[in-house]
Structure 1
Amino acid sequence: MEMGARFVWFGGIFAVIFLLVCAMTDNRVMAQAPVTAGTRKVARPIGEITSKKANKEAIERLRQMSPEEIEALDKKLAQALTLYYDRKFGQALPIFKEIADKVETMDIMFWIGTSAMKVGQVELAIEKFQKMLAIDPTLHRVRLELAVAYFMAGEYEKSRQQLELVQKVSPPPAVQKNINKLMAAINERTRKVFWNLRFSQGFLWDDNVSSGPDQRELAVLGGTLVLNKESQKLRDEAMVSNLLGNVLFDVGRRNGLMWNTTGSFYYRAYTDYHKFNYVAADLSTGPWWVGRRDIAKVPLGFTRRDFGSEKLSYTIHLDPNYEHFFTRHFSLRAFFSFSSENYFAQRNDPLDNYNYRYELSPNLYLANRKYIISLSLGIENHNAEAGRFSYEAPYVGLACFARLPTMTELSFRYQYARRDYDGRPLFYAIDRTDRRRQIALVLSQSFFKRFFASFSFSYLNNDSNAGLYDFDRKTYSLNVGFRL
Structure 2
Amino acid sequence: MSTSTSRLSVLCLATWLTLCLPTAAHAQTQAPATADDQYRLGLYQRETGEPYSAIDTLESLLSSYPTLNRARMELAVAYYRTLNYERARAEAERVLNDHTTPEMVRLSVSSFLKQLELEQAMTLGKPHRFEFSTSLGLMYDSNVNAGPDSALLGSSLAGDLVLDPEFTAKSDWGYIAQLGVQHTWQSPKPLRVGQATGRFSWNSSLSLYQKAYHQFNEQDLGVISLATGPALIVGNGWRGNLNVQFDKITLGGHDLGLYTSVNPSGTWRLGSGGELTADVQWVKRDFTRNLDSGRDSQYQSVGLSYGQLMGNQTWSLQGGLRLFNESARDARFSNQGEEYFVGARANVVGIDLFARAAWRHSRHLGIEPVYGMSRRETERRTEIGASHNFNEGWLDKWQLTGTVSHVHNKANLSLYGYDRDTVTIALNRNF
Relative to the length of structure 1, the TM-score reads 0.66
Contact 2:361 2:378 in 1 (8 A): yes
Matching residue within 97, 117, 121 for 1:187: 121
Structure 2 residue 375 is the aligned partner of structure 1 residue 432: yes
Aligned to 1:288: 231
- How far 1:319 sits from its partner (Å)? 1.4
Match of 1:385 in 2: 329
1:315 to 253, 256, 259: 259
Q: Of the candidates 182, 187, 191, which is equivalent to residue 246 of structure 1? A: 182
Gap change, CA 1:60 and 1:479, over 3 Å in 2: closer
Q: Is residue 2:156 matched to residue 1:156?
A: no
With the length of structure 2 as denominator, give the TM-score of the two structures.
Answer: 0.73
Report the Cα distance in structure 2 between the residues aligned to 1:160 and 1:265, rounded to whole angstroms: 45
Q: Secondary structure at the match of 1:347?
A: helix
Give 2:16's aligned residue. Answer: none
CA RMSD for the aligned pairs?
A: 4.4
The amino acid of 2:163's aligned partner reads: L
> In terms of Rg, which structure is larger?
1
Measured at CA, do residues 223 and 188 of structure 1 come closer, stay the same or move farther in structure 2, by a change above 3 Å?
farther
User: Aligned runs of 1:30-429 on 2, under 5 Å?
Assistant: 49=20, 52-53=23-24, 55=26, 150-159=79-88, 183-190=117-124, 191-221=126-156, 222-251=158-187, 253-254=189-190, 255-292=198-235, 293-325=237-269, 327=271, 329-364=273-308, 373-402=317-346, 404=347, 408-429=351-372
Return the alpha-carbon distance in structure 2 between the equivalents of residues 392 and 326 of structure 1.
31
Structure-2 change in CA distance of 1:429 and 1:369 (3 Å):
same
Indicate which of 455, 460, 473 corresponds to 2:407: 460
Gaps of 5+ in 1: 1-47, 62-99
Q: Percent identity?
A: 20
Equivalent position amino acid for 1:219 in 2: G
Find the counterpart in structure 2 of residue 34 from structure 1: none
Question: Structure 1 residues 233 and 159 mapped into 2: Cα distance closer, same or farther (>3 Å)?
Answer: farther
AA at the equivalent of 2:381? Q
Q: Measured at CA, do residues 152 and 350 of structure 1 come closer, stay the same or move farther in structure 2, by a change above 3 Å?
A: same
Q: Distance in 2 between matches of 1:376 and 1:56?
A: 62
1:269 CA drift (Å): 0.8
More strand by share: 2
Judged with a 3 Å threshold, the aligned counterparts in structure 2 of structure 1 residues 122 and 307 are, in CA distance, closer, same or farther, namely: same
Question: Cα offset for 1:261?
Answer: 1.2
Question: Do residues 478 (structure 1) and 421 (structure 2) align?
Answer: no
* Structure 1 Cα separation of the partners of residues 309 and 114 of structure 2: 29
The count of corresponding residues between Structure 1 and Structure 2 is 389
CA distance in 1, matches of 2:186, 2:310: 27
| CA offsets 1:116-174 (integer angstroms, 9 cap, x no match) | 86x8676799889x99x96567x9xx96x987765443233345567889999899x99
Give SS of 1:429's match. coil
Higher relative contact order (CA 8 A, sep 6+): 2
CA gap 1:336/1:220 in 2 versus in 1, 3 angstroms: farther
Residues 291 and 432 (structure 1), Cα distance of their counterparts in 2 relative to 1, 3 Å cut: same
